[in-house]
Amino acid sequence: MRTYRKNKDFAVQAYAGTTGILLAMNVSNRRRKDLLGFALERRAGGAAGKYEFQWSSLHFPGKEHTNKKFNATPSDKAPFQKFRWGIYNVEPGNAYDFRVYPVYGTPDTPDLDDPLELNLSTHSASVGDHSVIFNRAVAASQAFERKFPEVEKLLKKHKKLPIEKWPAEAAAWLTRGVLDQILGIIEKATDKNWALDIAIYEYELQAIVQAVNEAHARGVTLRIIYEAAPGEKQTAQNEASLRKIPKAAKRARVPLAIFHDKFIVLSKVEGGKRKPQEVLCGSTNFTENGVYRQANVVHVIRREDAATQYAGMFEELWTTADDGAATRKWVDRNNPVEAGRGVNIGFSPRSGIPDLQLFEKLIKGAKRDILFSTAFDLYDTIDDALLGDPGDPILRYGLQNSRSRITGFHADRDADFVVKALLPKGLEGWQAESTKGQVGSLLVHTKVVIVDFTGKKPTVISGSHNLSRNASYSNDENYLIIRGDTDLADCYGCEVLRFYDHYRFRYYASHDKTKKPPMLEPNSSWTDPYFKNGTLKRLDRERFCAL
């Protein structure tokens, strides 16, 4: 959901996703004179709620935070000195009202000018025919430790404690509805009149295993195809999780490389035939890491045409479980690579790299901006397309998670920062996420690209596909390309920027050699980079909110 408000020389653009809201402000050059920042006042639940100022983690020199426990000050006393602010403590399907005030005066006596008021709602889990849910996972690790300190103590005492034995509130906070979405589609299959076709790479999480076993027990027509590379540890784990499923309802997939799919097709059974209804896909493996710790997305599409395409792919996998080359030929014949308006679905493996070529074309076709959150090594031309050239007019924000570190990128226009970052083409370096107090790998595991997020016709790429040569040619994969849906783009974009803003803050905090907390500027000098020609901050201000 997008909302725009303006007066003559002050504007606010709001982008509301499922679990995040972005507020982008803009003022005329005249009105930025003596601007100390912006105060944000928020009310939840409509007219019956109470407005409260959002808290700022910075304060003016010579001042102290009014809330010593959380080191924070309300923004009417310590305004935000940014033209874009992300709010990530919101819930799906809720109404929120905001008042955004330009703040003038002095640090001793801030003067709030007339506000712009915005009324908007976050999307529920359902966005039209879609449900898009991201877990909290990696980007919230510090907040997790503050909110649930007892979990760290518990893990020190029981180092291998399954996450399903953690305090329920803590586990639910991390998964933030991802597990509910997976269990929900399984539970819709209530009896013998329903069928579930499950294609899965890693099948471990006991809550999901139990839900599938219960579906089988109530007579649901069930088929599961799973990763079964010979001699692999994952194969043994998958087969152990499937021990209660009869042999006729499961098949081992011996892929060309890895069986990287994770999707579920829900179908009605009429006259002995399946009638596909909806499909669950995305980047989430059915493991503790996938559901709780890694940053992941679950995407449900409640459309017969989309479910039918996935059902067709499953049928081919089921009939050629031990013949990856045959699967490739089937994909070549039956799944042309395309990206028209609406939802476009693709599968791997396939001959050549037409999917990678299409991704590259879409990314290079950006007119305004590119947001991305990807994992592991990308295909070279995709990497180049995402990063662009120094000084090009495209705004770029992204996270790239290798096996050893998390790196953030933007096409920076500030040469001094490029030198400090020690990376070419104006890229920023970010710190690897800490594993303190938690068990297992912590990764940004999403495979998401959003082209022209701030435009009227954004494009979203999402799925299991890692945008690599292997993902195209050798692995079993699936992906979505969704064009022209701003509501869906907002759900994805707010989350990608949540990850990005988190690691951006960590980078600057870790590189601050003074070891002193940053302070607000006592005057309007903080606005200078936002109005200087050729700077990233100016481009950000103009892209996210135009007067």
According to DSSP, the residues that pair with 265 across neighbouring strands are 197, 279
pLDDT score at 128: 83
Which ranges in 414-531 belong to alpha helices (H)? 415-421, 469-473, 486-510, 528-531
pLDDT at 433 over 60: no
Residues 43, 46, 47, 51, Cα dihedral to 10°: 0
State residue 508's pLDDT score. Answer: 64
pLDDT of 139 over the 80 cut: no
* Arithmetic mean of pLDDT, 7-17: 95
* More confident site: 411 or 353: 353
Position with higher pLDDT, 283 vs 49 = 283
CB contact at 8 A, 276 and 265: yes
Q: What angle do CA 5, 396, 487 make, to 5 degrees?
A: 45
Q: Report how far residue 396's alpha carbon sits from residue 484's, in angstroms, rounded to the nearest whole number.
A: 19
pLDDT tens per residue, range 85-133: 999 888 888 999 999 999 999 999 999 999 999 999 998 877 889 999 9
Q: What pLDDT sits at residue 535?
A: 83
pLDDT at position 454 over 60: yes
Contacts 24+ apart (CB under 8 A), 329-335: 335/309
Model confidence at 422: pLDDT above 50: no
pLDDT at site 289 = 87
pLDDT score of 471? 97
* Cβ neighbours for 200, distance < 8 A, ≥ 6 positions apart: 224, 225, 226, 227, 238, 261, 262, 285, 286
Whether the predicted pLDDT of 415 surpasses 50: no
Strands 52-53 and 395-401: unpaired
pTM of the model: 0.91
Q: What is the pLDDT of residue 421?
A: 24
Least confident of 74-83, 221-230, 395-404, 508-517: 508-517
Q: Which two tokens stand for residue 468?
A: 């690599």
Residue 178's pLDDT is 95
Give buried/exposed letters for 75-91 (b at 16+ CB in 10 A, else e): bbbbbbbbbbbbbbebe
Q: In what order do the strands lie in the sheet with 369-375?
A: 342-348, 477-483, 459-463, 448-451, 369-375, 395-401, 406-409
Token pair, residue 475, equals: 């692995």
**What's 448's DSSP letter?**
E
Q: Where are the beta strands (DSSP E) in 202-334?
A: 221-227, 250-253, 262-270, 273-282, 297-301
pLDDT value for 417:
24
**The pLDDT value given to residue 400:** 81
- Measured in whole angstroms, the distance separating CA 180 from the mean position of its chain's CA atoms is 17
Rg over alpha carbons for the chain, rounded to the nearest Å, is 24
| pLDDT tens digits for range 183-206 | 999 999 999 999 999 999 999 999
3-state secondary structure of 87: strand
pLDDT at res. 153 = 80
Mean pLDDT, the chain, whole residue set:
88
pLDDT at 201: 96
Whether pLDDT at 428 is above 50: no
- 3-class DSSP state for residue 217? helix
Side by side, the strands of the sheet bearing 221-227 are: 126-127, 130-134, 297-301, 273-282, 262-270, 194-200, 221-227, 250-253
Kindly state the percentage of the chain with pLDDT values over 70.
Answer: 89
Mean pLDDT confidence for 453-474: 97
Band of residue 403 on the pLDDT scale cut at 50, 70, 90: low
Predicted pLDDT of residue 410: 61
DSSP letter, residue 292? I
Q: What integer pLDDT is reported at residue 149 of this predicted model?
A: 80
User: Which 3 state secondary structure label does DSSP give 145?
Assistant: helix
Alpha helices in 111-197 (DSSP H): 141-147, 149-157, 168-175, 178-187
Model confidence band, residue 430 (pLDDT cutoffs 50, 70, 90)? very low
What the chain holds in terms of domains, given with CATH numbers, is 2-124 (2.60.40.10), 127-135+176-334 (3.30.870.10), 354-510 (3.30.870.10)
